[in-house]
Chain A
Amino acid sequence: MFVTRCLRNMTSRTEIIRNLLTEKFKPTLLEVKCESDQHNVPKGSEMHFYVGVISDEFNGLSILQRHRQISKLVYEQVPGIHALRIHAKSPSEVSDLSDAPDAPKCLGGSRR
């Protein structure tokens, strides 16, 4: 009987994204979730993510500016991500992330 052990530190992409966002935005509240189980991709894929970020760094920034900053950081540092849902607010706007929208239902994508 053979047991395979992985000797490398296999940090999940969820953790990598969480660390990236924490370092750059110092959020007061942060949610990072992999949503690939809701999509038409192999089990265990880490390609679709939701991030909810409340941070003072967003004060005075338009929604597009906030999304561009987050998007640029994540796509540049974590290759292979296919979709990134973003909800970015400042503490003066919301106290929690309960108003973040749910993911839309997957319709199969280009493999359909």
Chain B
Amino acid sequence: MSEVQDFIRETVTENPVVLFMKGTAQAPQCGFSARTVQILRAVGLSQVVVVNVLDDAEVRQGIKDFSNWPTIPQLYIKGEFVGGSDIVSECMKRRTGTMLREAGALE
């Protein structure tokens, strides 16, 4: 396994909520990423680790290989791939909201 895959695995296992996105939470550079950030904010998360894939082409490709999912953004909760912006939009009010509480990420 490469160094990039190790980095990704460590990041998602050591942090309860991780979002791989384009841009930063303060300055998203893609509408789908922005929508996902907006939802996570609305749910009231205290701690989200954000990885800006535009900063690192290897991570941008690496996370797609790691998740076996072709697009960005990608949300991980407690080490498990939740989905992209469509899934986060739909699930956030239901099951995923509960998952976040359990991950201890909600204030």
Contact = CB atoms under 8 A, between A and B. Distances in A.
Interface of A: 63-64, 67-68, 71, 75, 82-87, 101, 103-110, 112
A107 B29 contact: yes
B86 A64 contact: no
Contacts of A101: 86, 89
B71 A109 contact: no
Contacts of B28: 107
Contacts of B69: 68, 71
Contacts of B97: none
Contacts, number: 53
Interface residues of B, number: 25
- The dominant DSSP class at the A interface is mixed
Nearest to A39: B31
25 contacts: A63-B83, A63-B90, A63-B91, A64-B81, A64-B82, A64-B87, A67-B83, A67-B87, A68-B68, A68-B69, A71-B69, A75-B70, A86-B86, A104-B32, A104-B34, A104-B35, A104-B85, A106-B30, A106-B31, A107-B28, A107-B31, A107-B34, A108-B30, A109-B22, A110-B22
Contact of B31 (A71, A84, A103): A103
Contacts of A105: 31, 34
Interface string B24-65: 000011111111000000000000000000100000000000
